[in-house]
């Protein structure tokens, strides 16, 4: 038999998330190889850096930004640079306050990533390179790594007796 609180069953509402809008806040692509007239069969090494940010916009509205910085080098020579600042507006309801930050930094970017990946693929192809297919990003692991980094930084700055 289910436990009851003063004769009434405690009811929890399900978490609700709705993507209100998604948009490119900033996009930059620099074809360094063309500017420096680099020829030949370039096989660049690609480095992808990810940055996330979230801000409250209304009672249940949040803006989440997913920023990618992609650099491609052939040896020491830059081949191209791609920067994407992509944001989404989310309506989120019925989530406990202690779970909100991980939700914003894991679930929201996970929903936006396929769109960012397509933009990166299209821009690099339109820039004269093979389409860049960015590997999946484990946003949960990224979140955990950032938490550990912050805890270590705080521990290093804590005064010792």
pTM of the shown model = 0.82
Tell me how many helices (H) and strands (E) the chain has: 4, 4
φ, ψ for residue 71 (rounded to 5)? Answer: -125, 140
Query: Is the CB of residue 125 less than 8 Å from the CB of residue 117?
Result: no
Q: Containing H/E element for 30?
A: strand 16-31
The Cα 132–Cα 149 span in angstroms is 29
- Please give the chain's pLDDT, 161 residues, in tens: 444 555 445 567 888 889 999 999 999 999 988 777 666 666 789 999 999 999 999 999 999 999 999 999 988 888 999 999 999 999 999 999 899 999 999 999 999 999 999 999 999 999 988 899 999 999 999 999 999 998 898 888 877 66
Tokens representing 67? 């920023």
């Amino acid at each position: 038999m289910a436990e009851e609180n003063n004769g009434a069953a405690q009811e929890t509402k399900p978490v609700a998330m709705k993507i209100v809008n998604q948009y490119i806040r900033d996009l930059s692509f620099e074809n360094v190889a063309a500017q420096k007239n680099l020829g030949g069969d370039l096989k660049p090494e690609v480095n992808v850096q990810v940055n996330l940010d979230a801000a409250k916009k209304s009672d249940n509205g949040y803006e989440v930004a997913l920023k990618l910085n992609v650099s491609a080098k052939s040896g020491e020579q830059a081949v191209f640079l791609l920067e994407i600042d992509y944001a989404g507006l989310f309506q989120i309801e019925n989530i406990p306050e202690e779970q909100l930050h991980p939700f914003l930094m894991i679930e929201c970017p996970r929903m936006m990533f396929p769109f960012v990946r397509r933009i990166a693929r299209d821009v690099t192809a339109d820039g004269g390179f093979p389409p860049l297919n960015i590997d999946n990003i484990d946003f949960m692991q990224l979140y955990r790594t950032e938490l550990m980094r912050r805890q270590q930084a705080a521990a290093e700055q804590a005064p010792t007796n």
